[in-house]
Copies of this chain bind each other. A is one copy, B any other.
Amino acid sequence: MDREAQLIERIAKAVPSIRGAGRGGGIRLGIGDDAAILTPGLRTEWVLSCDAFLEGVHFLTKNYPPDSVGYKSLVRAASDLAAMGAMPRIFLLTLALPARLTGKWLGEFVRGMARAARLLGMRLAGGDTTKSATVSISITVLGEVARGLAVTRSGARPGDILYVSGRLGRAQLGLELIKGGGSGTPARVLRSHSRLLQPHLYPKIRVELGAWLARHKIASAMMDLSDGLSTDLARLCQASRVGARLWADRIPCVKLPAVRTGPLRKLRLDPLQMALHGGEDYELLFTVRRKQVKRLRSAPDFAEIAAIGEIERGKGITLVGADGRGTRLDPGGWDPFRRKS
């Protein structure tokens, strides 16, 4: 067996996967041929997305635990499926990495990916591996949703209430800790601030909530928060051709620890700014028609859902402060091509 085939075999053994002929669930052939074969059912639609996770852009191999890279690369891709209300099913992995990382690093990477796959109920159905100077991961995910029930970004209407799950800015706090820890001390920061780093290194996504909102036709529009509320809400508004008012004091913001040690002593952190512009929370942002709002009480994670604003006619987002004054909110989240100002 050639070395590339050995590597694929090793990954397929460690991660939940479909090798050779599949056993139902819509997948007739998995890893080991030119392509996977999918046999669709009559009552479902498939939802398809892909996501890049790159060393030097999204993570650094020297600062990040390899199992976090494996875990997060799959979870962030699957988050796009949850945001449509679909159940994640299978994924394809394109992995390019330096030969020196094919030992221990790859073993831990795969362990993290396997954990994410088990949590999400996903199986690997194919991929491509090659060597390269830096680690480059691209993941294609496929999910299933009942026909006609997928929730897009474009269904929000004036008067709809805007909701978000979870607290925002938690992933940004983790990123600041890793950056603030300096390049020499990542291991120490990983130990001392382990709990605060979880949302950045091992994000959780809202698959059950997304599927529930789709199944019960409660969300009129939905997306996941990957690039920051200010940027992602602007995208939802643009797709729906509406504007929005955000109530600043209703936005659930990251909680900063009362006692600040290590890099936290030096960092100037503003929870509202982190919640508005911090990326990678992978929480759900969705809109609900006013007459449907009551039904939300039966939602999974209901206690973690907050109404943070409303959809209105026009364009743009207005941030309304506690004093009732509104200011225009421009997208300030993650944009990989923005020029530094």
- Which residues of A are interface residues toward B (Cβ below 8 A)? 1-5, 7, 20, 28-29, 32-42, 45-52, 54, 56-58, 80-81, 83-84, 86, 92, 94, 96, 99, 102, 125-134, 136, 138, 140-143, 145, 147, 150, 152-154, 223-224, 231, 234-235, 238-239, 331, 335-339
Contacts and interface: CB of A to CB of B under 8 A. Distances in A.
A130 B80 CA distance: 16
A337 B81 CA distance: 33
Contacts of A238: 1
Contact of A2 (B36, B42, B335): B335
A224 B35 CA distance: 11
B49 A80 contact: no
B86 A50 contact: no
A154 B20 CA distance: 9
Count copies of this chain in the complex.
Answer: 2
Closest 5 CB pairs of A and B: A40-B40, A138-B138, A35-B49, A3-B337, A34-B80
Contacts of A234: 2
Contact of A132 (B54, B94, B143): B54
B37 A47 contact: yes
Contact of A138 (B52, B152, B336): B52
A150 B37 contact: yes
Nearest to A90: B48
A326 to B, nearest CB: 22
B84 A54 contact: no
A94 B138 contact: yes
Chain B CB within 10 A, most for which of A2, A38, A331: A2
Given A2-B335, A50-B94, A94-B51, A34 B224 contact: yes
Contacts of A2: 231, 234, 331, 335, 338
A234 B1 CA distance: 9
Contacts of A223: 33-34
Nearest to A335: B2
10 contacts: A28-B45, A33-B84, A33-B154, A33-B223, A40-B45, A40-B46, A48-B92, A48-B140, A52-B128, A136-B136
Contacts of A331: 2
A20 B155 CA distance: 12
Given A2-B335, A48-B92, 20 more contacts: A1-B238, A3-B335, A3-B338, A4-B337, A28-B45, A33-B152, A35-B80, A35-B84, A35-B141, A36-B47, A37-B84, A38-B46, A48-B125, A50-B94, A50-B126, A50-B140, A51-B94, A56-B132, A57-B132, A134-B134
A56 B57 CA distance: 18
A20 to B, nearest CB: 8
Nearest to A82: B34
Contact of A36 (B5, B48, B52, B131): B48
A29 B152 contact: yes
A331 to B, nearest CB: 6
